[in-house]
Amino acid sequence: MKEMSDIGLERSNRQCGQSISRATLALLCFYVFAGVFNGEALLRGVERMPYGNKRDACVALMKPAAWLSRVTRAGCLRAWLEKTVNLDPPP
Amino acid sequence: MLFPTLSFAIFFLIVFSGYWLLIRRGVIWKLFILAASWFFYAFWDWRFLGLLILYTIVNYYLSLASYRSGRPPKRRWVVLAVIFNLSLLGVFKYYSFFTLSAYAVCNWAGVRCPLPLLYITLPIGISFFTFQAISYVVDVHRGLIKPANSILDFAIYKSFFPQLVAGPIVRASHYLPQFYRIMDVRRIDVGRAALLILGGLFKKVVIANYISAHVVDPVFANVGAFQGPDSLLAIYGYAVQIYCDFSAYSDIAIGAATLLGIHFPENFNAPYFATSVSQFWHRWHISLSTWLRDYLFFSLYSTRLGRWRFALVINTFITFLLGGLWHGASWTFVMWGALLGAYLMGEQLLGNLLVRMRGGRPLPDGAVIRFCQRVVVFNLICISSVFFRAESFTDGAILLHRVFSLWNVVTLFTIPTVLILITGFLSQFMDGRRMEPVWNWFNRLPVVGQGLVAAVALTVILALGPQGVAPFIYFQF
């Protein structure tokens, strides 16, 4: 059985990509933007969890993101997408 | 802990930060990864963490005993390790299956079955970490690798969270050298990792979940209720769903590992574009098919079976039969494996016959022929997949029969469904090196741009996907 050439290994050997500090910054930016875009929806989601410590922790964590999402109106993107591309419920 | 959840997002942020902050702290860093991986596993069901630890201790010391038993090493240690691993797998995964089968046979024969009926919870990922453990002890026995430097290193390899519960089955010969050189990692391929993770989320959250809820589950739950077109749609839908589901898990695992400076081998490479069934197995769940080849198929050759006249054909069939059983403790999975084994046997025999008929000349090749081969192979795989999904033989047979029944009423064909099916099928183009220009483009973006693009993509995925995420199909294995 002939194994295919592995692009991931090739790129790893070629040291493709970026420094660890730059990657960490990119990841942090991603989390901030993701929180801002989805904060309100995420808060709605965690509020539906069963009552308990886990729910309380999630709600406390999501409240700042939801506030930021509301203030910056960044949550509109997701709300608009959900409204426009409304995939019908299953039969 | 499921990958496409908020819990995992928070977990990964903490692990990623701690991982790179502690990278120069030696043992503390190792303990941190191990604790994170064990937490990841225990999050699902903490009771089975003990099982994972037992696997780790027993396999480490048995492989060490094998390594220290001289050259060539004594077989007893590897045999003991394989028996231990397969016994645990047998008890947890197959006990109920074999007991129920024994009950059925005893009922048929009119005798009383002496086996007690127990319902045992299946520890998540047991099939994967059993195979991983076997590959480790066999590789040490064969002299392909040296044992891990310490039990801590082995425990990290065994429990490394991205691949722990649903693969890919990463071998020690691939993982440990990277692990020991982790301090040399200077660059992370964020572009590839991000695209793999986002692509995986798209395939799982949007495509697989949609197809499952709108097409596959309704039809397979009531196979006799739908006519030909809907039954056919469900069969094709399941083929797309299982590809999107499982390749999604592999992609996210590979992406997460890449962010932690570890390379995992590719697990899928556009399998439904294969022109033969054997090629399909070079492209589908590659880490499993190469495992079956190296540790089962070749091992069968070293036994008396290898000397038989039709050893190649028979060993192929046995390998696929056991491969089917590995996927699930049910006769439908055995049927699935048997069908795939039969396809491969048929392909080998037909290929030989055609070459002989052409006087030894190779078979003709061309775009049209390759297209026809792809269509045939895809449909054969779809037929076998029916038994992978069906609750019983009868359900599978009824569904296949319904395809040729009445074609009057169509209920499941909607524009979104067809579009999502096509998108799911075409998502195979994301495998392999086809997306390399996009990865490079992403890597060249400024840091804020990378975060923004990835966050917008995630928002689109979450907005398109249904509420809640179903577990990955391969979790049950």
- Higher per-residue confidence, B114 vs B451: B451
Mean pLDDT of B327-355: 86
Total domains, chain A: 1
Mutation for testing the A interface, residue in B447, B452, B456, B464 having most A CBs under 10 Å: B447
Of all residues in chain B, the one with the smallest CA distance to A11 is B189
Task: Answer yes or no: is A49 within a domain.
Answer: yes
Task: Answer yes or no: is A71 within a domain.
Answer: yes
pLDDT of B36 above 50: yes
SS3 content of chain A, % helix, strand, coil (to 5): 70, 0, 25
CA distance A55 to A49: 6
Q: Which of B337, B326, B348, B339 is nearest to B278 (CA)?
A: B348
pLDDT at B299: 80
What's the mean per-residue pLDDT of chain B?
Answer: 86
pLDDT at B103: 82
Task: Give residue-wise pLDDT tens across range B376-414.
Answer: 999 999 999 998 888 888 888 888 888 887 777 777 788
Q: Which of B263, B13, B269 is nearest to A15 (CA)?
A: B263
CA distance B22 to B234: 49
Q: Which of B399, B387, B384 is nearest to B228 (CA)?
A: B399
pLDDT of B427 above 80: yes
Catalytic residues of B: 327
Task: Answer yes or no: is A74 within a domain.
Answer: yes
Task: Give residue-wise pLDDT tens across range A4-49.
Answer: 567 777 777 777 778 889 999 999 999 999 989 988 888 888 888 8
Task: Answer yes or no: is A73 within a domain.
Answer: yes
Task: Answer yes or no: is A30 within a domain.
Answer: no
Nearest CB among B20, B454, B460 relative to A30 is that of B454
A57 touches chain B (CB under 8 A): no
Nearest CB among B187, B432, B462 relative to A15 is that of B187
Contact B443 A8 (CB under 8 A): no
Nearest CB among A2, A20, A88 relative to B188 is that of A20
Mean pLDDT of B435-460: 90
Task: Answer yes or no: is A11 within a domain.
Answer: no
Mutation for testing the B interface, residue in A33, A81, A86 having most B CBs under 10 Å: A33
Contact A23 B188 (CB under 8 A): yes
Contact A16 B187 (CB under 8 A): yes
Q: Percentage of residues in chain B with pLDDT exceeding 90?
A: 28
Contacts of B283 in chain A (CB under 8 A): 4
- What residues make up the domain containing A53? 39-85
Task: Answer yes or no: is A33 within a domain.
Answer: no
Task: Answer yes or no: is A26 within a domain.
Answer: no
Q: What is the crossing angle of helices B126-142 and B172-180, to 10°?
A: 80
